[in-house]
A and B are shown apart, each in its own frame.
Chain A
């Protein structure tokens, strides 16, 4: 981290949301620890994981992944969970169509509670997880899925399997690519305005000092 002083370091907050039991925790564990287990526990509240990417020769990307409980009532906490996120995965389970039906609800919740600094929606990738198993519903038709994503404002979708390690890295790279583009666009705008310097990335993700009240 301290090594090359010229290296740019980014810290990004990424949300992982979706219905209960769709494999959010499994995806994160696969991505961060290159490991899959049938024995994950139900996530209560929110869990955190950190993934460090050597993005290119002079860029380090640190992703803080927020693994958020899937039961609907935790939606009462999501305002504080979502705060200052710059990317999001919405996960559904291809073997249970009801989890796909809930995708729009999650997307709406996300967009209503958080935006990027310039007011645009947080880039969001749809993950059709457990694709190593028999699929149910719309996910069988990739044209329709493309249309669905375009219509609902997803930047893309991937069939994933945390178990078989399918598309986990690729989908993350796709999202991070977009986040970096957004970041440099926003930075350019800001620099045009008042020449804010790059550098202290911590300040980006740090919450504004608020007294009390959350959620």
Chain B
């Protein structure tokens, strides 16, 4: 992968290891440059994980495993570790018939139709989703199963990107289904309910975190008139899938499946805070909105290793109790 970096651009691989066509990606060169460095980090993490796993350690929640997850799970272990730590493996074992019966059972025609409208609009630049063959049928199955397993939520747009990315990594429908079940029912606030209260709340919480960590920036964003719910809807609903570069999203999910949704607030906050100077220089609404669109594309977002480090180190203390209190206050205020 690294060798072609110095050569002519046309020699660069056009499709990455996950099937994303990067031939039109303006970030492609930056991505290659980053990957050249990141490969050595990946190699080191792979060897550390192999060592831990070969020593016979059971993957269960512990300080060490948490630290390892925060530093990134090697691709070859991702599926297994996500399944174990999230509780998805357990659910699948306990309910071996569930997925099959959801796929074969009676369907709500409206839900099936809505999902069908999003299939070709999920990662259209990925070779596994850009044609009718490939993974589109699996995507349909997983989304239909999730929607019918959670009838009070139904199908919510955004889930398509999550299911799509899960399929690219775990490569089997049933695992993707159970991972989504853990996300929706155990790990995340109620993001996918029709009323969207939790999504609205989480964005207000993000605002409160900015107010806490950087009151000057908070004040400026308020004055320009950009509301927090214009910033993070897709960030939270898609868990950064189709928002940040793929390697970055996977690193976030490595934490998410271990420690839950707080990492989403950490990442959102650091994305805002590390761009404070640029945001402070935006004097009006259109400029700031454009800058926020840029935030997710700049090289700082691409360098996932540094980004995750900053998330945990630079952001400092982030007590769950305080976040819970913020959620409660924001929910009441939105009432």
Contacts and interface: CB of A to CB of B under 8 A. Distances in A.
Interface stretch (A39-47, A105-113, A137-145, A179-187): A39-47
Interface of B: 114, 117-118, 120-125, 130, 156-158, 160-161, 194-197, 200, 204, 207, 222-225, 227-230, 233-234, 237-238, 242, 283-286, 289-290, 293, 333-334
Contacts of B234: 44-45
A215 interface: yes
Interface residues of A, number: 33
B118 A11 contact: no
Contact of B157 (A38, A50, A69, A215): A69
Contacts of A73: 156, 194-196
Interface stretch (A147-155, A189-197, A206-214): A206-214
Given A45-B234, A71-B157, A215-B200, A77 B229 contact: yes
Given A39-B125, A206-B285, A212-B204, A44 B158 contact: yes
Contacts, number: 104
Contacts of B207: 212
Contacts of A39: 124-125, 130
B118 A42 contact: yes
B233 A209 contact: no
Contacts of B122: 41-42
- Tell me the interface secondary structure of chain B in the complex: helix
A117 interface: no
5 contacts: A44-B161, A76-B194, A77-B229, A209-B223, A215-B229
A39 B194 CA distance: 27
Contacts of A46: 230, 233
A20 interface: yes
A54 B218 CA distance: 35
B289 A76 contact: no
Could you say which of A42, A80, A213 has the most chain B C-beta atoms within 10 Å of its C-beta?
A: A42
A64 B286 contact: yes
Task: Give the top 7 A-B pairs by smallest Cβ distance, nearest first.
Answer: A45-B233, A39-B124, A207-B225, A42-B121, A21-B117, A44-B234, A76-B196
B158 A48 contact: no
A74 B114 CA distance: 14
B130 A20 contact: no
Given A20-B114, A41-B124, A80-B230, 9 more contacts: A20-B157, A40-B124, A41-B242, A48-B286, A48-B293, A71-B157, A72-B194, A77-B196, A206-B284
A167 B14 CA distance: 36
A205 B284 CA distance: 9
A21 B121 contact: yes
A208 B130 CA distance: 44
A205 B285 contact: yes
B158 A214 contact: no
Interface of A: 11, 20-21, 38-42, 44-46, 48, 50, 62, 64, 69, 71-74, 76-77, 80-81, 202, 205-207, 209, 212-215
Contact of A80 (B121, B197, B222, B227): B227
Contacts of B289: 48, 64
A156 to B, nearest CB: 27
Contacts of A209: 222-223, 225
Contacts of B290: 48, 50
A45 B157 CA distance: 9
A48 B194 CA distance: 24
Contacts of B242: 41, 44
B114 A71 contact: yes
Nearest to A62: B286
Contacts of A71: 114, 156-157
B284 A215 contact: no
Contacts of A62: 286
Contacts of A213: 204, 333-334
A74 B196 contact: yes
A205 B242 CA distance: 30
Nearest to B199: A77
A70 to B, nearest CB: 8
A214 B227 contact: yes
Contacts of A44: 157-158, 161, 233-234, 237-238, 242
A77 B124 contact: no
A151 to B, nearest CB: 28
A215 B194 CA distance: 15
A178 B123 CA distance: 38
A69 B334 CA distance: 21
B286 A50 contact: yes
A64 B285 CA distance: 10
Contacts of A72: 194
A80 B204 CA distance: 13
Contacts of A206: 224-225, 284-285
Given A11-B286, A71-B157, A41 B121 contact: yes
B188 to A, nearest CB: 15
